[in-house]
Amino acid sequence: MNCRERFLTTINRGLPDRPPLFASLTPQVAKKLSGHLGLPYEEPLDSLLSTRASHMNLLLHLGNDAVGTAAIAPKDATTITHPDGTITNEYGMVFKPKGLYNEFYSFPLYNAETEADIESYKFPDPFADGRYDDTDRKIALYKENYGVIGDLETSIFETSWYLTGLEKFMTDMMLQPPYFNRLLDKVMNMNLEVGKQLIRRGVDLLWAGDDFGAQGGMLISPEQFRQIFKPRIKYMLEEFRKVNPDIKIAWHTCGSVYPIIPDFIEIGLDILNPLQPLAKDMKPEVLKREFGKELMFFGGICVQELLPFGTPLKIKDEVKRIADILGKDGGYIIAPAHNIQDDTPVENILAFFEAVKEL
C-alpha cells in the first residue's frame, strides 16, 4: 500500500498493511530535526494551532502518511507586534511567546456580560480572502499520494475561553450570564463554516476538537458536557455530513475523558484523539475493548514519559505494543498523544518513526 491507500483504508474501517502515521512537532523540534537531517526549516503556518498543519515536508520525509492543513490567517489580517514583545492576533487576543508556547496577556471579551457585547465583537471571517490557500495548495500537491487531514483546531470550548479568559469562562459556565450561550453559538457557527469549507475543498478527514480532560479527570463535569457542549457538537457533526455524507470526523480532547466517550459514540463520532495514555482511565487496552467496535482511534503514543525519557529500544517495543492493541482489525491512526516536544532527543524521535515503518 502507498500512504494514501493506507490512510483511506484505515478511516474507512478496512485493514491496512500497517497503521497509517500522522505526527506533529513543535517548531523547536522541527528546527532541530531539520538541522540534523540537513533539510531546510519550514516556518510554521499562521493559524490558531499551527503545529497540526506545519512542517509537512519534514514530516513526510520522516514517514507521515497524511498531511495536515488548516484555515490560516487571511492576507489582510491585522497582527500587531507591540514594543513589549506582546502580539495581538486577528481574534484580538494578546499573547507573548514564552518558551515552547504562548502566554496570554489579555482577552477581547474579558468584560463581556450581555448579548450585545457578543454582537459588537468582530469575529474572524471564515470566508476571508486567503483563508484556505494552504488547503488548496496541499490538496493539489499531495492528495494523489497522501491522506489529507483538515484541522478545525478548537471548535467551541477552547476558542470561547481564549476570548474571555479561562477563569471567567469557567465561572460563567456555572452562572450562565446573558452573553454566555450567545458566545458559544457564535464560535460554533464560525468554526462550522470553516469545517464546511475544508470539506468542500476535499479533505479526507476533518479533525475538530476541544480539550475537556486533564491528567486526573475532566475539566468540566460530564453533566456540563452533556448540557452545554454535546448538543452543539452533535449539530456540527450533522451539518458537516450534509456537505459530504462520507466525511470522516475525528475529535481531539486531551486528558481523562472516559466518562463522555459513550456520548461521542451516541452523536456519531468516527475517531477519538489523542488517547493520552497516562491520563486516568485512558489505557489503550480498556479503550479498545470497550469502545473499539464503535470508534476508531488516533494517537496513543506517550509524549510525557516514553518519547522524551525512553530508550530507542523501549520506544520501538511500546509502539509495537500499542499498534497491536489499538490497531487490531484496523481502525487506528498511530500518532503521539500531542506534538512531539523539545525535551525529546533526536534519536528517540527517529526511533519512533522507524518503529512505525517496521510494523
Mean pLDDT computed over 323-332 = 96
**Which pLDDT score is estimated for 45?**
87
**Which pLDDT score is estimated for 182?**
98
Q: Report the predicted TM-score, pTM, of the whole model to 2 decimal places.
A: 0.95
**Which pLDDT score is estimated for 78?**
66
**Which pLDDT score is estimated for 208?**
96
**Which pLDDT score is estimated for 95?**
87
Name which of 70-74, 124-128, 334-338 the model is least confident about: 70-74
55 closest CA partner among 36, 69, 74: 69
* Three-state DSSP state, 12: coil
> 3-state DSSP helix/strand/coil percent for the chain, to nearest 5?
45, 15, 40
Mean pLDDT computed over 2-9 = 98
**298 contacts 275 by C-beta, under 8 angstroms:** yes
Checking if the pLDDT of 270 tops 70, the result is yes
**Which pLDDT score is estimated for 329?**
93
The H-or-E segment that residue 118 falls in is helix 115-120
C-alpha cell at 93: 487576543
**Which pLDDT score is estimated for 146?**
98
262 closest CA partner among 216, 232, 305, 293: 293
Residue 105's pLDDT band, with cuts at 50, 70 and 90, is: confident
Checking if the pLDDT of 177 tops 90, the result is yes
Mean pLDDT computed over 51-76 = 93
Checking if the pLDDT of 48 tops 80, the result is no
Contacts of 170 (CB under 8 A, 6+ apart): 161, 220
Query: Model confidence over 68-104: pLDDT tens digits?
Result: 999 998 876 767 888 988 888 888 888 887 776 778 8
Between 80 and 289, residue with greater pLDDT: 289
Residue 60's pLDDT band, with cuts at 50, 70 and 90, is: very high
Query: Model confidence over 215-253: pLDDT tens digits?
Result: 999 999 999 999 999 999 999 999 999 999 999 999 999
DSSP 25: B
Mean pLDDT computed over 309-337 = 97
Mean pLDDT computed over 94-120 = 89
Strands across the sheet containing 248-252 = 66-70, 147-151, 205-209, 248-252, 271-273, 296-301, 332-336
* Three-state DSSP state, 325: helix
Mean pLDDT computed over 287-315 = 98
**Which pLDDT score is estimated for 81?**
83
Dist. CA 187–CA 193, nearest whole Å: 10
**Which pLDDT score is estimated for 224?**
97
Mean pLDDT computed over 140-162 = 94
Percent of the chain at pLDDT exceeding 70: 99
Percent of the chain at pLDDT exceeding 90: 87
Residue 129's pLDDT band, with cuts at 50, 70 and 90, is: very high
